[in-house]
Structure 1
Amino acid sequence: MKREGEPAKPSRPHSAEVERAIRAHRTLSAGNRTLLRASDERELLEEMCRVIVEVGGYRVASVGYAEHGEEKGIHVMACVGMDLAVLQALPLTWAEADTEMGQWAISAAIRTARPSIGRHLLTEPTYASIREYAKRAGYAATSAFPLRVGDEVIGALCILASEPDAFDEAEADLLGELADDLAYGIANLRMRAKHAEAEKTIARMAFYDGLTSLPNRVALCERLGDTLHDAKPQHRPLALLVVKMGQFHEINETLGYKETDRFLQMVSARVLPLVREPQMVARVGEDEFAVLLPDANAEHATRFAHQLLEVLREPIDLLEFAVDPWASIGIALFPGHGAEPAALLRRASAAAGQAKHSAAGYTLYSGNPDKEFSRRLALMGELRGAIAKNELRLYCQPKVDFESRHICGAEALVRWQHPRLGMLSTGEFIKLAEHGGLITPLTHWVLEAAFRQSYAWDEAGIRLPLSVNLSAHDLRDPRLIDRIRGLFATWGIRPELIQFELTESVLMQDPEGAVDMLTRLKALGVQLFVDDFGTGYSSLAYLQKLPVDSLKIDQSFVSDMLANEDSAIIVQSTIDLGHNLGLEVVAEGVETEAVWQRLASLGCDTAQGYFISKPIPADAFGEWEQQSAWHPQG
């Protein structure tokens, strides 16, 4: 501590080692600030080299990236203090040190993944070829530091100094830290670039059709919404055209999806030249395109539709033969047909369906706003909520054995007691489920309810099988078997207490797939019924392949069999066919005693219908059974 009155001691100059450490530390600090500001990789490299030279006081700074070809070259990306073109012209390599340049600091750093420190340009034989140049330029020492990104050395940071003894241990450590920071900055910028590219890809997937590169339905509705927003205050009309391709499914079935894709791409190529902006054309469905025409009235829209059909009616050459697109066009107009994107698109699509039957091939949407559609849409949302909140009810309709006149089982049926509309018909909300993508959740609800009810019956001493209907969608569900197997495990129910019914028409949609799925269901030990038999036109040969136990004669034949001889023949033939194949036969729609007696005389095995009972709540079945005339003790 200096005493009062004592003269100040003169400060001693820093040693060269300390000065170099200070210089390196100053360079490191400035370099870290550069990392925070950089937004582009090349910008980062150039700015880091500038900081090293201008702030750190080094003579030259450069960054070289390793190339992974046979020659293992080094591409100089940035340089300050020397002409970049001069460095890039040098045959730099990081291959094995069998050449002079292969032994340079930058080469060694990349090859060994370790710093190459304090190389003397004026004395080392390795640098003999540039010694005179180094003397004139004032370069005396060089060091290079590897740049690691992950587990890979992507290149090296090379620094030249004017002092022969530069790059002592403390200075080299700080500069090595700077190189590590630079590598981190490079990795970070590359990651950000990948994220940005991924976001672009996601955005393109969200708003563009991958096959035709046209905007998709989402993008069209967004563009249509913007156009409507501009048109409304200025009272300008617009038209939306939907083009439906009539040959789509035939091409797909005949030539396969690759030719179908080519077909759609060629349609797209024909439509685009007719519009002012590519964004005005979109692919909005499997076989549907849409064209937005701002400032277009009915006359303009129909004129454009006629022009478009002229182009699309020319045959399209595919690999095997030329096909006629058979396009039809529907037109919806703002404000006459709607003021919202979804409404205009829906009505233009509906008009395109109508245009198939018009001589012109195009038609304007006609009719009032679709109130029935709005009602159905609202019901879809309410049905989804009813399934999720367990608001549906399980009903069942008993089956009776003809010979014993005793109850021998029941069919599970789902009912929806709507809080506002009352009991909705099953047919109505099943169609809602199909259109709203709710069939799978609905099937899951029915399966769970049926297994739970079967367990409750078994606990109450009711040993009757309960049958569940499966749809075509259910048969295509790869998780169906595992779900059913899980329900058997959960409730501990014997397989003979659960049965499954599949309509003949469903089985005929995909015969091979149906056989496979029925075989897997049968392996669970359950009984299988072909429902609505007689309506699906299955052949005897196909029927023999199905691992089923029973046929259910469609009620349309049963209810009409006393009045219609053709129906009576079909019923009798089905009973004989079923028995000849070793199958039991169930008659649906038995509503009178006379029909019952006729079926009994024909040898039918089981009856189901209003003559026995209407569908009743499943939880009331036990009480009904005890009081029923069909009960064994009745």
Structure 2
Amino acid sequence: MQPQAAEPANLPVVPFWRPRRIGWRLGVGFGALIVLMLLALGQASLQINRITQINERFATGDMQRLLRVQALSLQTEGVGSALVRLMNAPREHRVEEYADVDQRNRAIDGIISTLSTEVLAPEQQETLKRLVACRAIYGDAFIDVVDQIEADDLKAAARELNDKVNPSLKAMLTESQALLRYERENIEAELEDSQHQFAQMAMWVGGISVMAVVLALWLGVRTTRSVVGPLEALEDAAQRIAQGDYASRVASSRVEEVDRVGEALNTMTEAVAQREQQIAELAYKDTLTGLPNRTALSREAAQAPTPYRCVAMVDLARLKAINATLGYATGDTLIKELALRAGTVMQQAAASGLITGVPIAARLSGGTFAAAFNVAGRAQAQALHEAMELAMRQPVLCSGHSVDLNVVYGLADSGTDGEALPLDTLLRNAEVALHAAKRGATGFAWYSEAQEAARLGHLSLVSDLRTAVAGSQLQMWLQPKFALPGGQAVGAEALVRWQHPQRGFVSPAEFIPFAEQTGYISMVTQWMLQEALRTLAQWARTQPALSISVNISTRDLLDPQFCERLQNLLAQHQVDPSCLRLEIVESGLMEDPQTSVDVLHCLRGMGLELSIDDFGTGYSSMAYLQKLPVSELKIDRSFVDGLDHQSGSQRLVKTMIELGHGMGLMVTAEGVETEAEKATLIALGCDVMQGYLGSRPLHGAALQAWFDGLPEPVVAA
């Protein structure tokens, strides 16, 4: 702190008219510019105001007076001609000539009267007085001429005209010409004065503008000299920072603002250095476990002296359920415990020689970890897996709960011969093996090309599914349902089948799960509903009591447009809504219970029948099931298999049937294959059965034959 306190004493002493604050300099300089510009504007406004006044006076006074004087001269000249015409006109035409002479006389009198009211120069006033006197003489002579004309003494009238009227008119014309000449001279003088004022204004404005330009140039030069140099120093410092040089500092200058920027830049340099270090840690390290992340794993593997030939991917199973049930804090505790135990096993394996070299472990995402290492062969990798399993057996105590570390493993290697595969390839292969271990419920799997082929095959199937829907490759098979105990057909369940043009028959178990994951299942549901309604429309004429059940996926229940689309299909095919049943899987309702219940009420409001499929395999509560507007429970086939000789299953199924009846629902048993199972279901009170005992799924001619064999419905009289 002491060097910084002493630093201002080393700065050069600056006179008060050259302050260190560039803002003060710019303020004074630009203030002077503004003053000059205001002076220029003020002078221009003043001169323009003067010129405007001159122009207004010219337009409203001088020019109007000039025009009146000109009109006076014209009228004076014209009245003499009018008198001559009057003398020579026949008596019957004299009225028109009198009117013309009178109009001109009135015009002369009006002009003289107007001029007499205006402020005139002394010379103009004298001229106007003489003009008035001449007008009086002319007036008397004019009356005499008129009297003689009316007396038909035209000679006397002509003599009076020549002796008195014309001289007086000539005198009037002379005086009016004098007035006209004076007005012209006055206007020329005012125009000359206006030009002089304009030239003076231009000189003032030009002079002030030149001063402003000179001041602006001086300010520009001074500002450039005092700012550009320090700014170049700041620019150099910023470039050094951009290149990663955080040790250099910005030196002080003679400009206070630049010094403050320099100090801020120095402070920023220190902060950037610290944050870059933190960012590097965040970019390459997992904050929860302290392990490297995927990026760090790739970087360290690339820098390793020998390539890694084996990668293990480890995943903490049921992490999503644990987070949802016990909270994210419990999930984080399990992740950290897994990382700790796995790290201990890897260190022990390296110390014992089971692993050669230095292994690398990293957390990829969620509860998924990866480790790259080298072993002599798969036997050593298997031994490492067993040691890892042994370390994971001890449960973890989290918030009073004992939670098992259920871990799944996927391994991939480059083999013992040939070059090592890239780390990214090993990671991808290990992930494929991990998914294979999850699907197979084995908990452990090595990567194989068969897994890759199966994965690509599934992706190809999903890609072909859209084409299958559009190209009529899908088929709707129907498995009949029969009432108990009578055995009458009450309807059928629609089952989707896919006849692929290259692969042949594709089992629903192969493509339905992937269609669920990718969202293509909604497209399949739409196709099945279309086919089911088309079939019901055909049945309506001969078997209107039969219904068709269609399975609805969880994605359909969460689709806000599903009800509207189904309403449009019902309207299109003109089918009784009660003939269409929608089957909903019990477990699927729990993903978003509120939305699912709202959609089910919407469907029920449309008149559709709703069924809970695979009842007993989900985990929804009885209180929740009471809220569902369903009309049927379907007991899963796992409870029906061997029902006739399993007393425990009978008690469970009886409870389900009584529960359904207690809620006012029809109960259907799936997977009935023997007469003994059927008899047991009848004894337990089941309403409907479905299974191979009644009929296998039917399609095409077999379906038509079954339909044709149904008895005709009885029509009441």
Give the corresponding residue for 2:478.
396
Give the corresponding residue for 2:323.
252
Give the whole-Å Cα distance in 2 for the aligned partners of 1:578 and 1:292.
55
Give the corresponding residue for 1:385.
464
Selected match of 1:374 from 433, 453, 468: 453
2:644 maps to 1:562: yes
After superposition, the Cα gap between the structure-2 partners of 1:305 and 1:132, relative to the gap in structure 1 and judged at 3 Å, is: same
Asked whether the 8 Å contact 2:634–2:668 carries over to 1, the reply is yes
3-state SS in 2 of match to 1:546 = coil
After superposition, the Cα gap between the structure-2 partners of 1:263 and 1:127, relative to the gap in structure 1 and judged at 3 Å, is: farther
When the two chains are superposed, the root-mean-square deviation of aligned CA atoms in Å is 6.1
Deviations 1:148-180, CA, capped at 9 Å, x for gaps: xxxxxxxxxxxxxxxxxxxxxxxxxxxxxxxxx
Give the corresponding residue for 2:354.
none
Give the whole-Å Cα distance in 1 for the aligned partners of 2:680 and 2:383.
65
3-state SS in 1 of match to 2:672 = coil
Letter in 2 for 1:374: A
3-state SS in 1 of match to 2:208 = coil
The correspondence of residues 8-47 of structure 1 with structure 2, limited to 5 A, is: none
Selected match of 2:22 from 81, 85, 89: 89
2:599 maps to 1:520: no
Give the whole-Å Cα distance in 2 for the aligned partners of 1:603 and 1:247.
39
Give the corresponding residue for 2:247.
none
Is 477-486 or 495-504 further displaced after alignment?
A: 477-486
After superposition, the Cα gap between the structure-2 partners of 1:500 and 1:243, relative to the gap in structure 1 and judged at 3 Å, is: same
Shift, 1:599, TM fit: 3.2
Give the corresponding residue for 1:191.
none
2:288 maps to 1:288: no
The correspondence of residues 290-439 of structure 1 with structure 2, limited to 5 A, is: 290=370, 332-335=412-415, 339=421, 344-349=426-431, 367=446, 369-390=448-469, 391-402=473-484, 405-419=487-501, 422-434=504-516, 438-439=520-521
Asked whether the 8 Å contact 1:247–1:324 carries over to 2, the reply is no
Deviations 1:114-144, CA, capped at 9 Å, x for gaps: xxxx99796259949x749749989xxxxxx
Letter in 1 for 2:650: A
Give the whole-Å Cα distance in 1 for the aligned partners of 2:653 and 2:423.
52
Give the corresponding residue for 1:530.
612
The correspondence of residues 576-595 of structure 1 with structure 2, limited to 5 A, is: 576-595=658-677
Asked whether the 8 Å contact 1:590–1:609 carries over to 2, the reply is yes
2:560 maps to 1:475: no
3-state SS in 1 of match to 2:412 = strand
Asked whether the 8 Å contact 1:122–1:135 carries over to 2, the reply is no
After superposition, the Cα gap between the structure-2 partners of 1:598 and 1:632, relative to the gap in structure 1 and judged at 3 Å, is: farther
The correspondence of residues 182-193 of structure 1 with structure 2, limited to 5 A, is: none
Give the whole-Å Cα distance in 2 for the aligned partners of 1:490 and 1:428.
32
Shift, 1:615, TM fit: 0.6
Letter in 1 for 2:496: V
Selected match of 1:242 from 313, 318, 324: 313
Give the corresponding residue for 1:70.
none
After superposition, the Cα gap between the structure-2 partners of 1:612 and 1:104, relative to the gap in structure 1 and judged at 3 Å, is: farther
Shift, 1:87, TM fit: 13
Letter in 1 for 2:597: V
Asked whether the 8 Å contact 2:642–2:677 carries over to 1, the reply is no
Shift, 1:285, TM fit: 4.5
3-state SS in 1 of match to 2:477 = strand
Give the whole-Å Cα distance in 1 for the aligned partners of 2:437 and 2:410.
6
Shift, 1:349, TM fit: 3.7
Give the whole-Å Cα distance in 2 for the aligned partners of 1:301 and 1:594.
52
3-state SS in 2 of match to 1:441 = helix
Selected match of 1:504 from 586, 598, 604: 586
Asked whether the 8 Å contact 1:384–1:438 carries over to 2, the reply is no
TM-score of the superposition, structure 1-length normalised? 0.53
Give the whole-Å Cα distance in 1 for the aligned partners of 2:543 and 2:712.
13
Letter in 2 for 1:485: Q
Selected match of 2:525 from 427, 443, 450: 443
Shift, 1:502, TM fit: 1.6
After superposition, the Cα gap between the structure-2 partners of 1:256 and 1:627, relative to the gap in structure 1 and judged at 3 Å, is: same
Letter in 2 for 1:242: M
Q: Which runs of 5+ in 2 are unaligned?
A: 1-17, 38-202, 223-282, 348-359
Asked whether the 8 Å contact 1:243–1:330 carries over to 2, the reply is yes
Instruction: Give 1 or 2: higher strand fraction.
Output: 1
How many residues align? The count is 443
Give the corresponding residue for 1:8.
none
Asked whether the 8 Å contact 1:247–1:325 carries over to 2, the reply is no
Asked whether the 8 Å contact 2:410–2:446 carries over to 1, the reply is no
Give the whole-Å Cα distance in 1 for the aligned partners of 2:385 and 2:583.
48
Letter in 1 for 2:324: E
After superposition, the Cα gap between the structure-2 partners of 1:136 and 1:563, relative to the gap in structure 1 and judged at 3 Å, is: closer
The correspondence of residues 116-131 of structure 1 with structure 2, limited to 5 A, is: 123-124=208-209, 127=212, 131=215
After superposition, the Cα gap between the structure-2 partners of 1:464 and 1:525, relative to the gap in structure 1 and judged at 3 Å, is: same
Shift, 1:527, TM fit: 0.7
Letter in 2 for 1:382: L
Deviations 1:41-82, CA, capped at 9 Å, x for gaps: xxxxxxxxxxxxxxxxxxxxxxxxxxxxxxxxxxxxxxxxxx
3-state SS in 2 of match to 1:562 = helix
The structure number with the bigger radius of gyration is 2
After superposition, the Cα gap between the structure-2 partners of 1:120 and 1:371, relative to the gap in structure 1 and judged at 3 Å, is: farther
Asked whether the 8 Å contact 1:239–1:297 carries over to 2, the reply is no
Give the whole-Å Cα distance in 1 for the aligned partners of 2:635 and 2:490.
17
Asked whether the 8 Å contact 2:364–2:370 carries over to 1, the reply is yes
Give the whole-Å Cα distance in 1 for the aligned partners of 2:500 and 2:217.
93
After superposition, the Cα gap between the structure-2 partners of 1:354 and 1:556, relative to the gap in structure 1 and judged at 3 Å, is: closer
3-state SS in 1 of match to 2:482 = strand
The correspondence of residues 101-180 of structure 1 with structure 2, limited to 5 A, is: 123-124=208-209, 127=212, 131=215, 134=218
Shift, 1:441, TM fit: 3.5
Give the whole-Å Cα distance in 1 for the aligned partners of 2:623 and 2:575.
34
Shift, 1:282, TM fit: 7.7
Give the whole-Å Cα distance in 1 for the aligned partners of 2:19 and 2:384.
62
Letter in 2 for 1:410: A
Give the corresponding residue for 1:464.
546
After superposition, the Cα gap between the structure-2 partners of 1:264 and 1:420, relative to the gap in structure 1 and judged at 3 Å, is: same
Shift, 1:570, TM fit: 2.6
Letter in 2 for 1:488: L
Give the whole-Å Cα distance in 2 for the aligned partners of 1:134 and 1:411.
94
Give the corresponding residue for 2:119.
none
Deviations 1:421-479, CA, capped at 9 Å, x for gaps: 54344334333434565433333333333334334444776553211112334333444
Asked whether the 8 Å contact 1:239–1:331 carries over to 2, the reply is yes
Give the whole-Å Cα distance in 1 for the aligned partners of 2:636 and 2:596.
20
Selected match of 2:570 from 488, 499, 524: 488
Asked whether the 8 Å contact 2:610–2:629 carries over to 1, the reply is yes
Q: Percent identity?
A: 33
